[in-house]
A and B are shown apart, each in its own frame.
Chain A
Amino acid sequence: MSSTADVAAARATKARGSGRRSGITMKVVSTVLGAVGTVLAASFVIFVALSFAPGDPVAQLLGSKATDEARAATSAKLGLDDPLLVRYWDWLSAALHGDFGTSFTYRTDVIELIKPRLETTFLLVAMAAVLMLVVGIGLGTIGGVSRRWRPVVSALAGLGISIPTFVAASVLISVFAVQLGWFPTFGAGEGLADQVEHLVLPAVALSISYGAYVTQLSSAAVRDEAGKEYVMTSRGRGIPSRRILRRHVLRNAALPVMTASGLAIAGLVAGAVVVEQAFAIDGIGSLLISSISNKDYPIVIAVSLVIVVVFVVVTTIIDVAQVLLDPRQRGDR
């Protein structure tokens, strides 16, 4: 004996049901396309910006004593006389095949320079990410759930977020490497175990401020969720608190926590640049800095692009996950 409104709603939902799955797919596809577009746009902007940078690649390659003809020939070979858009297009099409050009200073393919350093940076970021997620989310959950610990967690997080990565690095080196001698002071080491040992302090330094960010957001998310009215309703139905926490509060808070974690991981990639300098680690971050000093722009563009791609990939994964996991965003209604 349902009312006419309910019958109508039932019919409409049935009709939409078949379109529902394609609705999600559409959203995911459009998000991914948007990400690709963003990367392309960013790469274009970076390319154009760097074309105005000082430094003469021809002089770098040939030295200052080269003849004018030699210069002109090299210039033409490098395609430096072509208009900007053509140069961008050439670069882009080569890049999509994995060819990022040749370094002016090292005289080797840029891609070969990037690959090993990328592994080092990846290991560093991975270690920092694990640390950040475990400690960050753990503390955040405690802070959100327990009223007693909340001010402590909040203060710790507030402090952590205020400590810049390079300051943390200095303190850690000073205390743990120099004074206590527990860890090596710089470098990335050889072989996996040695590398991990070398990267412990850098990973800790890197994870502090981003971990604090994750803690703050997790704490807020858990706290918000625990304060929602349906939690009170569940308590009123006699459901044990433990179960409410596990099945409702934490599960619902998982979504914003995941978003915050993703953003923090993306931030780690950017922060790696600073940490690598502080600990003299030969990763893509220090490659970027040194190639800027050397005005070796093929490397600069390539590394910048790598960083942007990683950044965008991480944020896109978060966006897609949000669409998939939140029933309200699936566009059922």
Chain B
Amino acid sequence: MSAIALDNTTTPAGARRSKDKLLVVSGAVCLLVALVAVFGTVLAPHPPDQTDVLNASLGPSADHWFGTDGLGRDIISRAMAGARVSFAGAGFIVLGSAFLGTTLAIFAAWNGGWVDRNINRVLNVMFAVPGILVAVLASAIFGAGFWAPVIALTIVYVPFYARVVRSSAVRECKMPYIEGLELAGVSSWRICTRHVLRNVSPIALAQATIAFGSALVDFAAVSFLGLGVQPPQAEWGLMVADGRSEILSGAPQQSLVAGACIVVTVVAFNVLGDRLSSRIGADR
């Protein structure tokens, strides 16, 4: 007797099989910004560091699409150069904290008991200190620049990762097939890396995408406060700060353009991360 003809696509109840337009658009924007970050200096119409005090604080024109800043530098070129620094900062923070956070989470979930409890306690203390404060204090201790905020924010973001990944890892470790592997004598290391990690990574990835936006904002904020990247380097937060005096004289281009870059990038990454999360949720 023949089997019942099955509908091959096992879409969960209620899920539409329509293409996710938001995913595509946000993904495209993220990619675009990333490309600018990498190749920005090549694509920029003017050298980002070239000052031209005679043409300072100009509005948009044919030569300078978004105007010039207080020292006559072309804003859009600076924004493109700044993309690289902001991206690099956020990128390091996300990669570092994802790596550390995931490792810590799997370690805690796997070992459970005393280890897990104490790691949780440490994480709770870390949650108690707001991120900005840590970054600011780090600058105090190690001096301003690129690396102090990056390292500080990496540490700050670890608990957020660890918490999300841990709950997923705990669930995974409790699964019967893991126990089966253990009983079969497979080493802990192998189980954790080959199985737990693999099943936990989609969530970690989605979280990383969402965290990228926050990391970018926090990194820019530290530079805004003057405790991160220093002038004359181009960085979006720094540009917003630089442009403040010009706002007061009615020339807000620098701050607004840099601000817009941040907002667009963060929105794109947030939407991308959100879409990825719901995809993962739907598959489970």
Contacts and interface: CB of A to CB of B under 8 A. Distances in A.
Interface of A: 34, 38-39, 41-42, 45-46, 49-50, 52-54, 158-159, 161-167, 170-171, 173-174, 178-179, 185, 266-267, 269-271, 273-274, 277-278, 288-289, 292-293, 295, 300, 304, 307-308, 311-312, 315
Contact of A307 (B130, B240, B252, B256): B130
A237 to B, nearest CB: 25
A38 B127 CA distance: 10
Contact of A308 (B129, B136, B255): B129
A292 B149 CA distance: 14
Interface string B230-266: 0000000100110110011010100110010011001
Interface string B81-105: 0000000000000000000000000
A65 to B, nearest CB: 26
Contact of B262 (A38, A164, A267, A288): A164
Given A166-B221, A174-B252, A174-B256, A308 B262 contact: no
A312 B130 CA distance: 10
The 7 closest A-B pairs by CB, nearest first: A270-B130, A167-B259, A162-B266, A174-B252, A170-B255, A164-B217, A162-B267
A166 B240 contact: yes
Contacts of B266: 162, 164
Given A178-B247, A269-B130, A49 B237 contact: no
Interface stretch (B67-75, B138-146, B168-176): B138-146
Contacts of A174: 247, 252, 255-256
A146 to B, nearest CB: 20
B141 A42 contact: no
Given A167-B240, A167-B262, A39 B128 contact: yes
B140 A158 contact: no
Interface of chain A, main secondary structure: helix
Interface string B208-219: 000001000100
A302 to B, nearest CB: 13
Contact of B248 (A42, A45, A185, A278): A185
Contact of B271 (A158, A164, A292, A295): A158
25 contacts: A39-B128, A45-B125, A50-B141, A158-B270, A159-B267, A162-B213, A164-B221, A164-B237, A164-B262, A164-B266, A166-B237, A166-B241, A174-B252, A178-B250, A178-B252, A266-B130, A273-B132, A274-B225, A277-B225, A292-B227, A293-B226, A300-B140, A311-B128, A311-B130, A315-B127
Contacts of B132: 270-271, 273-274
A50 B140 CA distance: 8
Given A170-B247, A170-B255, A308 B128 contact: yes
A289 B129 contact: no
A164 B220 contact: yes
A50 B226 CA distance: 19
A159 B270 CA distance: 9
B133 interface: yes
B130 A267 contact: yes
Contact of A300 (B137, B226, B237, B243): B137
Contact of A277 (B125, B224, B250): B224
Interface in B99-154: 124-125, 127-133, 136-137, 139-141, 143
A267 B133 CA distance: 11
Nearest to A297: B140
Contacts of B139: 292
